[in-house]
Structure 1
Amino acid sequence: MTARRRVLELLDTPSCDTELTWTTGNVAEAFPGVFTTLGFGFTHEPMELAFRTMFARLGVFGPGEIHLPERIEDTFWTLFAGRAAANIDKFRQIANVTPGTSATAVEQQLFGYVRPTTVDDNSYRRYPIILAKAPAAVISLPRRHDAMFAELRTWRLDRLSRIEELDEQGCRRVLADARARFQRIMVLHLIVAFVSSGLAERLAAMVAKLDLPGLEARLLSGVGSDENEVAHDLWALAHGELRLPDFTARHGYHGTNEGQLSGVSWREDPAPVLARLDDYRSISADSPRAPRRRAVHQAETRRAAMAELTAATPRLRRSPVTMLTNLAARWLALREQGKAGYLLTFDVARAACRRMGEHLVAQGVIDDREDVFHLGYDAVLEGVHGDVRDLVARRRTEYEERLDLRLPQSWTGMPEVTKVGEPTSGSTVDGVIKGVAASSGQVEGRARVVRDPATTELDDGDILVCETTDPSWVSLFLVAGGVVTDFGGMLSHGPIVAREMGIPCVCGTEDGSWRIPDGAWIRVDGDAGTVEIVGAPA
């Protein structure tokens, strides 16, 4: 059995090169939590091929690189104890042959930190090919991205309307179709992530050169995103301007654990949405906290930052500086659209899986339709024959045990897996927790440490403290006074939404959600990137 096949079976990497460095940073935000066997089988191959196809379109890879490697060391990502981790060294190799970026920049933008040992080793050997191929791929991408996203929205509603009619073969066809569409949107999404990281790096360097601290975060606010529409429609639902079926038709692909195929979407269970409506009813249309007014305010914040940047820039440089800033904003909005795009494919796939689970229960192959998520993707497509309940029971037990485990933010070789709640080695200086300054402003408030957004209530002004966020957390952002996350960098989901909502955010604290006591009074400085505990829990 090859190394890749062993990971598919074990949902774990039993061994790898001791010199290789891994991170849970950005990939843990896309796919947080623990994978099931079916979830990883659905996701891993399309993601690996999407990475390689993306780099081939940009000219970084040749056509021969678009394949599934059998060695773990050659993959862009894998699993450790059921959780996703990205191969930092693989991304460093890419950055070292790509114009306009570096290994240092990739680590900072994608993962939220740079290792002290990081050394850039840029090479120009691929530059001619990249300069010939990349412009065509990049220039047309926003239009193609918009078109694919619109198509996925229509496709989702059409397929969901027919799920209950599907037989086993129909479920397999829909599942395979969803997987193919997932790979296609991920190719575009990964190009967006790569290009937007380069644009943000240039923007940060420009702001630093002009000595305008905090301006970068304001320039990257008010860009508009899919979450803006989710926030407004939540408010509209609470105020009777939108019906629940219309809301779930638009946004029902979000939900608890949405980055995992086994997650439950708002379409299936709208209870987490309905539980928040009282909070939103207290926000009047003319309140500064109303989503539409927040969006307007943040757009004004961005215009003011643009004016400040223009005034500080020599006249002959103003035109290219304005172009760079506008491009960074456009591509940042595309990042969030891409995340929504692949979640649309997940929602159809999970519906097909659960329908398949019902067929397998009727045949006596499994006991519960949820057990289908503990079967292999290939086995589901080829047909499950015979009683697999013992296999499912073993895999379910392993899955539940892994829910209590966590990985470090980065490591070399094999990770030290710890139990949930055990502190790690985050950066603290004089009692102040350090992170990345991700959204401007300062705020004090009660810390609410959140593990499950579906079961947590925030009071107005509470500070959301968590490991990471995904789009289903937007309902908490509406009432939060600030955000603190363990993972991520400037272009991670939590900081992007915090900037759109106009609330301070510090990300990349490594283990802040385990060191900040729930209910403690804390001070968040989104300009300095610090969190200070100023009062014990009441």
Structure 2
Amino acid sequence: MSSASDNPVHATSSPTTRWSRANFAEAIQGVQTPLGWTYWDYVMEISVRRAFGRMGVFPRSQLKMPTSVDEKFAAAFFGRPAGNVRTMWLIGEAMPGTSGDAVVEQMFGERRPEGARKKDSAGKRRYPIVAVKLPLCARWAAKTLRPILADQRQWWHQSVIVSPPKDQAAAIALLKRSAEEFIRVGERHASMTLIGQGIAEQIEALAQSAWGSRDRAADLMTGYGSMEETELMGDLWEVAQNQLSLDDFLARHGYHGPDEGNLASTIWREDPKPVQRMIDQYRSASVAHPKAKEAAQIARREATEADLLAALGRGKRSKAKLLLKLGRSLIPMREVGKAGFLHAIDGARCAARVLGDDLVATGFLDARDDVFFLTYAELIAGVSTPQQELVAERKANHAQYQTLDVPQAWTGNPTAEVATPKASDAPVAGVEQITGIGVFGDEEVTGRARVALDPAAVDLEPGDILVCRTTDPSWTPLFLVAEALVIDTGGQMSHGAIVARELGVPCVINTLTGTRDIPDGAHLTVNGTTGVVTIRQTEPA
């Protein structure tokens, strides 16, 4: 086995650095291959640093890639990406209108990491700079994100669907271009993510001020309209109604698919069977067009905004109107940015598979997908010698890591144990209730649990409650069929939470153990306000 020092998917941390996998599994799914992680590591670190530089949080000296893993935003351990809690706490401390404690709570569900001291952060010293640069950054990102997405759609369609690369040189060029496209949209996406979290926090505070509770805050952050996932579900609905061809759907949305943030995954343009399965579910369930749900949520938000303004004192209404307007404009931008970088990832995926074919033809690899066990730097430098021995070593690591259970959060270096798989039909004795974060839903919902680890392998019927580890856009077509959602990981600004609010689907997120503790077929009662999920082995009387 490779040692930690030369293993591209297993870092070594100092004993005091706090790490968390929360939210990362939503974007970067599964145990990462060397190519998958080194690509993500490169584009993500640059994107985030440039974003914080543009917001004024980072001085110019911090824009370059750090040499120490403990100074990075993320690292991989046993192939699993994790975020640096202390780094994000320090950033939150330099942001007006929020704090390090609030940022790590929203992003990771964590408290202030041990040893993190306010005097060690930039704190209010950077407030004047951020106060000037942050509004400019928000305006810049909001103005440019949608045009960039439109441009990237054309680039992806031409480079992947119409005219994919035919040789090693063209594939390397596409791989490098995909990284550039990721960074281009990623800088804006990172800006909108943190700014959107700050606005969401302020909207929750408005609800607290008006009604003495944050329970109705979700109704102020729904019905934004024109979400990327609504377009995806609308097009799928049209395929189910024979109003759009499957080929046209894949030409628009084929970059999505199971575990689409994992470079080595097989997505819809490569295997459309999961799409056909969802089309069949749409037909059998007779689901309504997502625009109908969207319209209902818009009306709900507008009524709640009116109630809020009426409940606030006159002196607070101007600020409230501004915050609500900013929420409508900026919070949906997180999903626009995500669609952009997913196009870039699929460009890299296409390039990698072409490179795999080329390297098999030259005898440097034994199988096409062995290319994913080389690193991004190795591939763009050009491969000119046999790689079988190195690939075999890295594949052995990967196989071992897939058998391990890695903690959700830890300090220093994680201790992994061999995972004990749970049979999906075996009841878990003694667990009658789990609790997460209530995302949406003002009434309790009861239905049959469908525990799913793969969106392509679950058949939902009307009234079923979808229980899953995390979600990405490939899951969201199921949201139209599900009665409610119970999700292991995430927070109020996670993908699943945002889309659930937009569609008005009751949702509890960050249960941590839902897919482990809820037997498939059990009857659940989900409270989207309190975050409580009650488990019954048999249908209630």
The Cα shift of 1:132 comes to 2.6
Please list the CA deviations of residues 47-84 of structure 1 after superposition, one character each: whole Å capped at 9, or x if unmatched: 11112111111111111111111111111100011010
Partner of 1:407: 406
Asked if residue 47 in structure 1 is aligned to residue 44 in structure 2, the reply is yes
User: Which segment drifts farther, 330-339 or 203-212?
Assistant: 203-212
Asked if residue 323 in structure 1 is aligned to residue 322 in structure 2, the reply is yes
Superposition TM-score, scaled by structure 2 size: 0.92
Partner of 1:70: 67
**Does the CA-based 8 Å contact 1:237-1:244 persist in structure 2?**
yes
User: 5 Å matches for 1:71-470?
Assistant: 71-114=68-111, 121=118, 123-161=123-161, 163-210=163-210, 211-224=212-225, 225-282=227-284, 284=286, 289-421=288-420, 431-441=432-442, 442-470=444-472
- Cα pair distance change 1:464/1:419, threshold 3 Å: farther
Please list the CA deviations of residues 70-124 of structure 1 after superposition, one character each: whole Å capped at 9, or x if unmatched: 1111111000110100000001111112211111210222123546979883731
**Structure 1: which amino acid aligns with 2:441?**
S
**Does the CA-based 8 Å contact 2:8-2:38 persist in structure 1?**
no
Unaligned 5+ runs, structure 1: 424-428
Please list the CA deviations of residues 363-395 of structure 1 after superposition, one character each: whole Å capped at 9, or x if unmatched: 122122111111121221122223222322332
**Structure 1: which amino acid aligns with 2:473?**
P
Matched position secondary structure for 2:82: strand
**Does the CA-based 8 Å contact 1:421-1:514 persist in structure 2?**
no
**Structure 2: which amino acid aligns with 1:56?**
G
Take 2:235 and 2:474, find their aligned partners in 1: how far apart are those partners?
13
Unaligned 5+ runs, structure 2: 423-429
- Cα pair distance change 1:162/1:364, threshold 3 Å: farther
Partner of 1:25: 22
- For these two proteins, the number of residue pairs brought into alignment is 526
User: Which segment drifts farther, 147-156 or 78-87?
Assistant: 147-156
Superposition TM-score, scaled by structure 1 size: 0.93
The Cα shift of 1:326 comes to 2.3
**Does the CA-based 8 Å contact 1:196-1:332 persist in structure 2?**
yes
Take 1:334 and 1:102, find their aligned partners in 2: how far apart are those partners?
22
**Does the CA-based 8 Å contact 1:8-1:41 persist in structure 2?**
no
**Structure 2: which amino acid aligns with 1:9?**
N
The Cα shift of 1:164 comes to 4.3
Cα RMSD, aligned residues only: 2.3
Matched position secondary structure for 1:445: strand
The Cα shift of 1:277 comes to 1.4
Take 1:339 and 1:110, find their aligned partners in 2: how far apart are those partners?
16
**Does the CA-based 8 Å contact 2:205-2:214 persist in structure 1?**
no
User: Which segment drifts farther, 468-477 or 117-126?
Assistant: 117-126
Please list the CA deviations of residues 144-166 of structure 1 after superposition, one character each: whole Å capped at 9, or x if unmatched: 11111111111111112454452
Matched position secondary structure for 2:526: strand
**Does the CA-based 8 Å contact 1:112-1:436 persist in structure 2?**
no
Take 1:392 and 1:274, find their aligned partners in 2: how far apart are those partners?
35
Take 1:297 and 1:8, find their aligned partners in 2: how far apart are those partners?
54
Please list the CA deviations of residues 29-61 of structure 1 after superposition, one character each: whole Å capped at 9, or x if unmatched: 111211111111212122111121111111111
User: Which segment drifts farther, 405-414 or 171-180?
Assistant: 405-414
Matched position secondary structure for 1:531: strand
**Does the CA-based 8 Å contact 1:7-1:78 persist in structure 2?**
no
Partner of 2:427: none
Matched position secondary structure for 2:410: strand
- Cα pair distance change 1:315/1:79, threshold 3 Å: same
The Cα shift of 1:536 comes to 4.2
Matched position secondary structure for 2:533: strand
**Structure 1: which amino acid aligns with 2:411?**
T
Match of 1:519 among 493, 518, 521: 521
The Cα shift of 1:504 comes to 0.8
**Does the CA-based 8 Å contact 1:104-1:118 persist in structure 2?**
no
Take 1:401 and 1:537, find their aligned partners in 2: how far apart are those partners?
40
The Cα shift of 1:320 comes to 2.1
Take 2:259 and 2:304, find their aligned partners in 1: how far apart are those partners?
36
Percentage of matched positions with identical amino acids: 38
**Does the CA-based 8 Å contact 2:285-2:481 persist in structure 1?**
no
Take 1:116 and 1:42, find their aligned partners in 2: how far apart are those partners?
28
Partner of 1:531: 533
Take 1:346 and 1:438, find their aligned partners in 2: how far apart are those partners?
29
Take 2:207 and 2:117, find their aligned partners in 1: how far apart are those partners?
22
**Structure 2: which amino acid aligns with 1:189?**
H
Partner of 1:426: none
The Cα shift of 1:247 comes to 0.6
**Structure 2: which amino acid aligns with 1:61?**
F
**Structure 2: which amino acid aligns with 1:443?**
V
**Does the CA-based 8 Å contact 1:409-1:487 persist in structure 2?**
no
**Structure 2: which amino acid aligns with 1:52?**
R
**Structure 2: which amino acid aligns with 1:372?**
V
**Does the CA-based 8 Å contact 1:405-1:420 persist in structure 2?**
yes
The Cα shift of 1:421 comes to 4.5
The Cα shift of 1:26 comes to 1.9
Take 1:53 and 1:388, find their aligned partners in 2: how far apart are those partners?
35
The Cα shift of 1:25 comes to 1.0
**Structure 2: which amino acid aligns with 1:435?**
G
Take 2:56 and 2:502, find their aligned partners in 1: how far apart are those partners?
34
Take 1:496 and 1:311, find their aligned partners in 2: how far apart are those partners?
26
Partner of 2:484: 482
Take 2:5 and 2:104, find their aligned partners in 1: how far apart are those partners?
25
